[in-house]
Amino acid sequence: MLMRFNIATLSFLFVAIQSATGQGNKIDRFHIPTPIKFENSSYYLSDSYHPESYYYKQEYIPKGESADHFNSMVTVDVVIADVSVKDVVDQKIKELQAMQKTDPIVKYQLTEHAEKGEYMLDFLMSQTVDGRVLIVEWNLYRYRAYTTKAGKKGVLLFAYSLRGYEGKTRDFLISLKTKRPQIGKSMGEYKLPDFQISD
């Protein structure tokens, strides 16, 4: 039987920048063959999270980078619950709209791929302390329905993140304008990993 709950309980899921770095481990619950190859880079398991019975998250980064100071990251999130893909996407957009009140950098664009039952959410955000922009982060989220081997349904998120750090954020934003179209095309064409969750 699927877990039923209000979509608001998903508000902590699929979060960028505020990731609970340091609270994860390297237990591979997805068993996705690594490295994950995307945009000419190879990504290896960095952290694994299972904070709730219905929620799983794994982060992958290139060798030589760290989870708290990466240039690029691939993330796979799964929520097993009686919730639609559209509901999860709508909740994320509400969070971004709320963030726009305090973060002027926040911008987003949603694309629906009805034939696949998928959504792609492209958004930009930042982390600022005392007026200093420490991090600018661009994320591309690809959402789709997911079904476990046992037949339980949920939502899968495959995400790609890029970061620019203090002193280099302007150059990061300039280069991003050139990169975004190609990365978006690559994400849309990417064959999502076939995996099953294990506790």
27 lies in some domain:
no
On whether the CB atoms of residues 135 and 165 are closer than 8 A, the answer is yes
- Biggest alpha carbon distance in the chain? 51
31 lies in some domain:
no
| Overall domain count for the chain | 1
Residue 140's alpha-carbon distances to 3, 15, 50, 160, 162, in angstroms, are 27, 12, 22, 5, 9
CATH of the domain at 53: 3.40.1000
| pLDDT digits 0-9 by tens, 167-191 | 999 999 999 999 999 999 999 999 9
2 lies in some domain:
no
pTM for the whole thing?
0.89
Range(s) of the domain holding residue 145: 7-18+36-189
What is the C-alpha separation between 85 and 10, in angstroms, rounded?
12
109 lies in some domain:
yes
181 lies in some domain:
yes
45 lies in some domain:
yes
Q: What was the pLDDT predicted at 21?
A: 45
24 lies in some domain:
no
| pLDDT digits 0-9 by tens, 30-86 | 999 999 999 999 999 999 999 888 899 999 999 999 988 999 999 999 999 988 999
**Of the candidates 65, 92, 91, the residue with the CA atom closest to the CA atom of residue 159:** 92
What is the C-alpha separation between 104 and 1, in angstroms, rounded?
42
198 lies in some domain:
no
